[in-house]
Amino acid sequence: MSRTMRVLALSGSLRKASFNTGLLRAAVELAPEGMTIELGETRDLPHYDEDVRGAGMPASAARLRAEVERADAILVATPEYNYSLPGGLKNAIDWASRPPKQPFAGKALGIMGASGGVSGTMRAQYHLRQVAVYLDMHPVNKPEVFVRNAATLFDAEGRLVDAAAREAVRGLLEALAALSSKLRG
């Protein structure tokens, strides 16, 4: 039997009641057999500064980088900020992606996002796909998961309760597992 597939999940939002972090909690519940999903921490990262890196990776950045290295695949749930991905998420990717041996390369990437409005973060997701090209990652093409009108889909405790949205998350995880298995041979 093949070993467990380790997925590192990154949220583009830091707020406690984040819909996107809620999507990742749902993903943990919905993970297919053989997949474990761990939520990465990005809150304690400084702003990327090449001089700081030159003096030695900050512990928070080294930790995130090691988590990316250990992971078989990456799962991102991101809001859209001003039609793009949030600066904090980009900053986390920037820290973890510096050489040597950039650890995102060759890995499968699942992308989803939730917004309070009707676009469901599609513009942010397409910017993240562009970033993935440089990182030499392999984003899941389909299904695309654009969670719209998010406030209506979560309960008061922040649990994703909408059946269709849960099914969309499950479908993405299955596609991520299939792509990651294919990439890892």
Footprint on this chain of ligand FNR (rule: CB under 6 A) = 13, 15, 18-20, 79-83, 115-117, 119
Question: For residues 14 and 175, which CB has a smaller minimum distance to ligand FNR in the complex?
Answer: 14
Question: For residues 19 and 104, which CB has a smaller minimum distance to ligand FNR in the complex?
Answer: 19
Least distance CB 59 / ligand FNR (angstroms): 26
Least distance CB 73 / ligand FNR (angstroms): 21
Question: For residues 20 and 180, which CB has a smaller minimum distance to ligand FNR in the complex?
Answer: 20
DSSP string, the chain: -PPPEEEEEEES--STT-HHHHHHHHHHHHPPTTEEEEE---TTPPPP-HHHHHT---HHHHHHHHHHHH-SEEEEE---BTTB--HHHHHHHHHHTPSSS-TTTT-EEEEEEE-SSSSTTHHHHHHHHHHHHHHT-EE--SS-EEE-SGGGTB-TTS-B--HHHHHHHHHHHHHHHHHHHHHT-
Least distance CB 86 / ligand FNR (angstroms): 7
Least distance CB 12 / ligand FNR (angstroms): 7
